[in-house]
Chains A and B, each alone.
Chain A
Amino acid sequence: MLLDVDGLTKTFATAEGPVAVLRGVSFALDAGQSLALTGESGSGKSTLLHCVAGLEPFDGGAVRIGGADLAGMGEAARAALRRRTVGLVFQQFNLIPSLTAGANLAFQARLAGRHDPAFCAHLAARLGLSGLLDRYPEQLSGGQQQRVAIGRALAARPALLLADEPTGNLDETTGDAVMDLLLDGVAEAGAALLMVTHSMRLAARLGGRLHLAQGRIA
């Protein structure tokens, strides 16, 4: 089992008192498989993804990636895990503004110590970025930026790719094209995918579907 989430709980302290967002979430994801995570806005999908990625600490339960439990890890170990094992694609502003598209594309792979220029060039070609590598993020359209973000995540050959509405900020045509590239890329790389989406249509394209409601998997 690549990812094993067991009884995960997360409560936010707010001005109006504690808000229990995740109340015992459990699911599992095998290597190379894909899951869609759906739920109403505010149901805690992003929070769950952040906890799985080790970006947010959680209160109870376990998140095991390749057998190692995030609950017992310090910040440095979780950062190392992100560097080597987990790829992340968010809704927007994924890229490092001071680096060119090309440098962004290679960034994660180089951090992970798995940089392969040929693979990067192949990804750039597949994602239709070949002519754009010298541009800075703010010189790219939203769809182009998301393609660079996907390429960056895949170039590092992560075992687990976490995506939070990666096409949520794009128009439908662009979004579909980007989604095709994402799913193809994941399949080609053999990575597992956990993707948050609003769209049932997109969810249907993945191997399975989790629905989050009332802080639990329904």
Chain B
Amino acid sequence: MMRAGMAAILSHWRRHPVQLAMLLAGLMLATALWTGVQAINAEARASYARAAAVLGQDRLERFVAEGAARFDQAAHVALRRAGWPVSPVLEGRIRAGGLRLTVLGVDPLTAPPQSGLAGLAAQGGFLRFITPPGEVLAHPVTAARLTEAALPGGPAIRAAEGVPEGTLIADIGIAQAMLDAPGQVSRLLIAAEVPAGLPDWREIAPGLVREAPEGAGDLARLTDSFHLNLTAFGLLAFAVGLFIVHAAVGLAFEERRGTFRTLRALGLPGGRLAALLAGELLLFAVVAGGAGVVLGWLIAAALLPDVAATLSGLYGAAVPGSVALRAEWVAAGLAIAVAGTLAAGAQALWRIARLPVLAPARPRAWAMAAAGGLRAQAAAAGALAVAAGALAVRGDGVVAGFALIGCLLLAAALALPVALHLALRAAAARVRGVLAEWFVADTRQQVPGLSLSLMALMLALAANVGVATMVASFRATFTGWLDQRLAAELYVTARSPDEGARLASFLAARAEAVLPIVSAEAVLDDAPGQVFGMADHATFRDAWPLIAAAPDVWDRVAAGTGVLVNEQLWRRAGLRLGDPLPLPGGALPVAGVYSDYGNPAGQAILGLADFDRRFPGLPHQAFAVRTADPAGVAEAVTAAFDLPPDRVLDQAAVKRFSLAVFERTFAVTGALNLLTLGVAAVALLASMVTLGAMRLPQLAPVWAAGLTRGRLAALEMARTLMLAALTAVLALPVGLALAWVLLAVVNVQAFGWRLPLHLFPGDWAVLFAAALAAAALAAALPVRRIARLAPADLLRVFAHER
């Protein structure tokens, strides 16, 4: 019985291959987008973990300086003399060959086991490793992208598996030279087994603190919000995909009522029947889910290079450009495909199991029942909107920001059928003409059946408007900000302190102003940050992008009686103007706040003289140059000092580089957005095919009364376009609200900066056209079907045998 029943149920799909294809495609797309995002996240997280695990640092305790990023290596010597099993590490970042690299300086004799290092002694390369110019170990991919000349001091490069991408491991002496940190270390790693009876470290090295291992570390924390962002998009796409599955399952169940009735009459219990159907769904979920996982892998592989560029540009995190197949997201992808299918089919299964005798389809009754539900939907939408408002006012943290977005989007989705209902009711009262009246009445009848997919379309459109507005606002603000920030025409960096001094005097003779750029790593508000020294010059006084400032801000900074902080630090530490900011060498009152996009870390700017006092011995090696002839000066400098091109950058090049990072950041969200819109179009197609089966009795009388099939098809297209247009119009304010949340809440929480909202009506017009195009594409097949309906099919509506 079960076998025969299964065969009867499955035979439906042989006769309706399009339906089957749609169901599988919906499931596959939904799973693919979700899995793709998960695969990207998993790849990135794995690379953070790899980076944290270098030298076993994720397991080892360490000594670090209290309130400073680095300290003198004398502490290391003292601790070792006292018998403490410690090994020094110097960590810093450099930019070379267009890459952002993390340099890890280690002592090869005492360093914890690390692949690559072990090989040195065996190959007799130990001496080469520690003797200038030294040798750096790099992942083969990183090694292939670097040339020796690109690195400061010109060390040899040796490829070594096991070194994370984007990381260079060097002898600590070599690293100190590369990072301009003579005699400095970042931390001392403590061996796993510390002998008993050692003297108290506090007395040997006062000023140090003992810390627990870092675990996944800074990068994971920094990039959390970025990954949360991707996850939210994946989830949205998945939800939109489930609309398709819901529509396709509903259709298949509706069309098989006859079969179900027969099976019930033959004695198959309702519960059994439901179980059979659940089994069928499960089969589909596994097949389509599997295909979706593979497609997701391809999507991830296509997007990962952009994601990797974003992560490295924004956070200095190196993520490899290829995606490995990982059990965690493969299993998760399949699981969510199954769970999603069952969730989307639950309603239909429930009805099959419960209703012993299946009533014939009554679309009008369905419409009226749905109208009754409208009030409840409106109430739910209102409640969610209130919750969103409360979160906007009270919420705190990235998670609250995303909860706010969730409430906002859900409220809008629930409100959509209500809004369409009201709009069509108003239209019904106004239209004149028999066809127009029928058109509106018929549309009203279709809306309940289409509303799920229209919701999907609205979510996709709103997400598009929101993200596009955020991106465009960001771009507008960012370019303006870059113009202010990069006021100098030329940026020149010397390779050594000595060359720096010569460079300064060389430039002074040829340019209007030569402004040193100096920086040091420091702990700001209990987190790693950077302190800059800034020369007192009109370049900065006139153009620096200050958000808030004391009236005499520049005089105070120049005099060393005030400090500038970036927006991130300002917001995170809750500073106000005049509040003291603890700094190495004593606190200073905050005199001004500047915007600093694209930098996740805190930053403070001191007057140059004050900086030199607080960080003695730091050479002036990098210079901002004001000149009317940047090309000429660049040429002269390059010729005189034989500097590589990445050390002599004109303003345009720096801007190009900075903008490129952001373009790639948003290429990812853009791609996800477009895919989501595509999924929404498929959802609309699915619903229209669903309704198509019920359309005949609605269209046949009108056809018989004297309308051609072509006319009916044209009206059907017009209806779909009208609904899509209404949906798009309603999606616009939702999208703008979303953009506001992204700019004013999520960005502030995730990155620490707030951006002004810019409006781009031109983009809206493009998106509106895209929505219509998506709807037209979705409607093309069902509309063509109407235009080509066989008269016999229409006539069957009126015949006895139905």
Chain A interface (Cβ within 8 Å of chain B)? Answer: 46, 50, 53, 55-57, 75-76, 79-84, 88, 90-99, 103, 106-108, 110-112, 136-138, 164-165, 168-169
Bound complex: CA A129 to CA B362 (Å): 23
Bound complex: CA A138 to CA B697 (Å): 12
Asked whether A138 lies within 8 Å of B438 as measured between CB atoms, the reply is no
Having A79-B711, A82-B704, A168-B800, one finds 12 other A-B pairs with CB under 8 Å, namely A55-B794, A56-B795, A57-B791, A75-B710, A88-B705, A90-B704, A92-B800, A93-B797, A98-B445, A99-B437, A111-B435, A137-B364
Chain B interface (Cβ within 8 Å of chain A)? Answer: 362-365, 434-435, 437-438, 441-442, 444-445, 697-698, 700-702, 704-711, 791-792, 794-795, 797-800, 802
Residue from the list A83, A97, A111, A168 in contact with B445, Cβ < 8 A: A97
In the bound complex, residues from chain A placing their C-beta under 8 Å from that of B798 are 90-94, 164
Chain B interface secondary structure, helix, strand, loop or mixed?
A: helix
Residue from the list B363, B702, B709 in contact with A75, Cβ < 8 A: B709
Asked whether B708 lies within 8 Å of A75 as measured between CB atoms, the reply is yes
CB distance from B696 to the nearest CB of A (A): 10
Asked whether B701 lies within 8 Å of A79 as measured between CB atoms, the reply is no
Asked whether B441 lies within 8 Å of A98 as measured between CB atoms, the reply is yes
Asked whether A96 lies within 8 Å of B795 as measured between CB atoms, the reply is no
26 contacts between A and B (CB under 8 A): A46-B795, A46-B799, A50-B795, A56-B792, A75-B708, A75-B710, A76-B710, A79-B706, A81-B706, A88-B705, A91-B800, A92-B800, A93-B697, A93-B700, A95-B701, A97-B363, A97-B445, A97-B697, A98-B442, A98-B445, A99-B438, A103-B441, A108-B705, A136-B364, A138-B365, A168-B800
In the bound complex, residues from chain B placing their C-beta under 8 Å from that of A55 are 704, 791, 794-795
In the bound complex, residues from chain A placing their C-beta under 8 Å from that of B362 are 138
Closest B-chain residue to A55, C-beta based? B791
Bound complex: CA A111 to CA B705 (Å): 8
Closest A-chain residue to B446, C-beta based? A98
**With A79-B706, A96-B701, A97-B698: A138-B795 Cβ-Cβ less than 8 Å:** no
Closest A-chain residue to B704, C-beta based? A88
Bound complex: CA A138 to CA B791 (Å): 24
- Nearest 10 A-B pairs (CB), nearest first? A83-B706, A90-B798, A110-B434, A82-B706, A98-B441, A98-B445, A98-B442, A79-B708, A96-B701, A138-B364
In the bound complex, residues from chain B placing their C-beta under 8 Å from that of A94 are 701, 704, 798
Closest B-chain residue to A50, C-beta based? B795
CB distance from A41 to the nearest CB of B (A): 9
Bound complex: CA A75 to CA B702 (Å): 14
Asked whether B438 lies within 8 Å of A80 as measured between CB atoms, the reply is no
Closest B-chain residue to A92, C-beta based? B798
CB distance from A99 to the nearest CB of B (A): 6
Bound complex: CA A210 to CA B701 (Å): 27
Bound complex: CA A55 to CA B700 (Å): 11
Bound complex: CA A164 to CA B799 (Å): 9
Asked whether B364 lies within 8 Å of A97 as measured between CB atoms, the reply is yes
Closest A-chain residue to B441, C-beta based? A98
CB distance from B436 to the nearest CB of A (A): 11
CB distance from B772 to the nearest CB of A (A): 24
Q: Residue among A82, A112, A137 with the most chain B CB within 10 A?
A: A82
Bound complex: CA A82 to CA B705 (Å): 6
Bound complex: CA A56 to CA B799 (Å): 14
Bound complex: CA A138 to CA B794 (Å): 19
Closest A-chain residue to B442, C-beta based? A98
Bound complex: CA A114 to CA B570 (Å): 77
Q: Residue among B434, B698, B701 with the most chain A CB within 10 A?
A: B701
CB distance from B790 to the nearest CB of A (A): 10
Bound complex: CA A96 to CA B797 (Å): 12
Asked whether A107 lies within 8 Å of B364 as measured between CB atoms, the reply is no
Closest A-chain residue to B696, C-beta based? A93
CB distance from B703 to the nearest CB of A (A): 8
CB distance from A100 to the nearest CB of B (A): 9
In the bound complex, residues from chain B placing their C-beta under 8 Å from that of A169 are 800
In the bound complex, residues from chain B placing their C-beta under 8 Å from that of A106 are 434
**With A56-B792, A91-B800, A98-B364: A76-B708 Cβ-Cβ less than 8 Å:** yes
Bound complex: CA A83 to CA B437 (Å): 17
Closest A-chain residue to B365, C-beta based? A138
Asked whether B706 lies within 8 Å of A50 as measured between CB atoms, the reply is no
In the bound complex, residues from chain A placing their C-beta under 8 Å from that of B365 are 138
CB distance from B181 to the nearest CB of A (A): 78
CB distance from B463 to the nearest CB of A (A): 33
Bound complex: CA A150 to CA B442 (Å): 22
Q: Residue among B365, B700, B709, B795 with the most chain A CB within 10 A?
A: B795
